[in-house]
């Protein structure tokens, strides 16, 4: 397991704050009895370690074995399936599609991975609001990015990174015309979010609402 590059600055800052707070507390003369002071210093140390561990786990990148299959669609993110429905995709595909939405809580791995292989055919960033990720209007009003991949057979699969109430920064690492492989990392969303994926109507969805997914591993649909 490694730590994602998006977390390096925050981890350093958190570590510095934790060290400074504990050092200052230990150096300042205590107005409490030795027993109370010992309890307070121990509590502060434990809380500091917990905070640092939470930040570290949020930016973790676990090692995974990606099994590529051009007839399958892999989950683009760790999380829970919250929506499966037939809907209109008005931004780029402009046609009816099957939508699968995955909610990512703050404790999930937040690396986003390519569900299929192909060539990036469309990308666009949309600034917006920060409604809770499961809000019905979050997919059209929140900060988000839209990315589409055209597969070798001409099929386009579109997916959308959506910021949530806590997520205030979406990162994506692809550009139009770029070839990509299934399971490649294409982005990262900080502190809770959602990923919508829009599939052809003929795609067979292999997950159900409430299922837990692993990015780059869970098969969410088949062609």
Q: Which two tokens stand for residue 170?
A: 């979406």
Q: Tell me the C-alpha distance between 195 and 98, whole Å.
A: 14
Q: Which two tokens stand for residue 36?
A: 């109370």
Yes or no: say if 190 and 6 are a contact pair by the CB < 8 Å rule. Answer: yes
User: Residue 208 to residues 31, 48, 67, 100, 110: CA-CA distances in angstroms?
Assistant: 58, 39, 21, 9, 21
How many Cβ atoms sit within 10 Å of the Cβ of residue 178? 15
Hey, is 126 helix, strand or coil? strand
**Active-site residue 193, yes or no?**
yes
Q: Which residues contact 180 (CB under 8 A, 6 or more apart)?
A: 114, 117, 118, 119, 120, 149, 174, 186
Q: Which two tokens stand for residue 14?
A: 């958190």
Q: Which of 101, 138, 139, 193 is catalytic?
A: 193
Q: Which residues carry out catalysis?
A: 193
């Amino acid at each position: 397991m490694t730590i994602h590059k998006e977390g390096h600055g925050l981890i350093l800052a958190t570590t510095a704050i934790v060290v400074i707070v504990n050092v200052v507390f230990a150096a300042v003369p205590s107005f409490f009895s030795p027993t109370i002071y010992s309890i307070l210093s121990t509590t502060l140390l434990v809380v500091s370690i917990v905070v640092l561990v939470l930040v570290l786990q949020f930016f973790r990148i676990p090692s995974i074995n990606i099994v590529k299959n051009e007839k399958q669609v892999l989950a683009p993110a760790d999380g829970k399936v919250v929506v499966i429905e037939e809907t209109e995709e008005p931004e780029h595909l402009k046609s009816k599609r099957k939508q699968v939405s995955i909610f990512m809580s703050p404790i999930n791995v937040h690396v986003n991975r390519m569900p299929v292989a192909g060539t990036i055919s469309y990308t666009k960033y949309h600034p917006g609001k920060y409604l809770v990720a499961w809000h019905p209007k979050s997919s059209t009003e929140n900060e988000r990015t839209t990315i589409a991949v055209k597969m070798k057979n001409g099929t386009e699969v579109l997916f959308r990174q959506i910021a949530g109430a806590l997520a205030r920064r979406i990162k994506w690492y692809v550009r139009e015309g770029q070839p990509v492989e299934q399971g490649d990392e294409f982005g990262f969303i900080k502190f809770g979010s959602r990923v919508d994926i829009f599939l052809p109507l003929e795609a067979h969805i292999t997950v159900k609402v409430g299922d837990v997914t692993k990015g780059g591993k869970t098969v969410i649909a088949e062609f």
